[in-house]
A and B are shown apart, each in its own frame.
Chain A
Amino acid sequence: GAGVSQSPSNKVTEKGKDVELRCDPISGHTALYWYRQSLGQGLEFLIYFQGNSAPDKSGLPSDRFSAERTGGSVSTLTIQRTQQEDSAVYLCASSIGQGEGNTIYFGEGSWLTVV
């Protein structure tokens, strides 16, 4: 595809429900990232996948958050038992790989509202 694709673009869910957010990175990009953009909180790193290496999960805010990347391509971010403070824009990004100068390309985001 032309860019990083995310779905759904908007999601309203009830508190306590689980949600799944999907990311299709740019073809050929081995690195994939999830960020969260909250009002007043800026952009917060969540998780990073690089090839077949173990993901860097250091940014996940709680054990309710998890992500997987199947086949080195598509990634799913799962939030269990959603809380109102999870409301944010979840951004996915990808890059060719590690190394100085690799540009990171962002998707348009999934707007999550927990009511």
Chain B
Amino acid sequence: AQRVTQPEKLLSVFKGAPVELKCNYSYSGSPELFWYVQYSRQRLQLLLRHISRESIKGFTADLNKGETSFHLKKPFAQEEDSAMYYCALNRKAAGNKLTFGGGTRVLVKP
């Protein structure tokens, strides 16, 4: 069975400091990984996906199949990055049925 683990429930960093949100997954097939973000009082929205290999709002994430990880990183955190972040796994063979991690709350302090 597939599983997504986000070990940190809360990350508190100062503005301008680097931030890294950890995500590990278990899945026997070829995974499709995503990061979703939920800002205060807003709906859950896609931040980035591994197949796009893009940087969104300064965030990047690299899929490491050897370590089964998809950690999210930003070199210089901003206060507006404060939000809830969810890592998600899509089993390609089963439609777009996402399995989410438990989420990490990021608090960026001024």
Chain A interfacial positions (CB closer than 8 Å to B):
3-4, 31, 33, 35, 42-45, 48, 50, 56, 91, 95, 98-109
Chain B interfacial positions (CB closer than 8 Å to A):
32, 42-46, 49, 51-52, 86, 88, 92, 94-103
- Most chain A CB within 10 A, of B44, B86, B101, B103, is at B44
Contact (Cβ within 8 A) B100 A106: no
A36 CB, min distance to chain B CBs, angstroms: 11
Assuming the contacts A42-B103, A101-B49, A106-B43, asked whether A95 and B98 have C-beta atoms less than 8 A apart, the reply is no
Task: Enumerate chain A residues within 8 angstroms of B97, measured Cβ to Cβ.
Answer: 33, 45, 48, 56
Task: Enumerate chain A residues within 8 angstroms of B51, measured Cβ to Cβ.
Answer: 100-101
Who on chain A is nearest to B41 by CB? A108
Task: Enumerate chain A residues within 8 angstroms of B86, measured Cβ to Cβ.
Answer: 42-43
Q: How far is the CA of A54 from the CA of B29 in the complex (A)?
A: 24
Contact (Cβ within 8 A) B92 A100: yes
Who on chain B is nearest to A37 by CB? B44
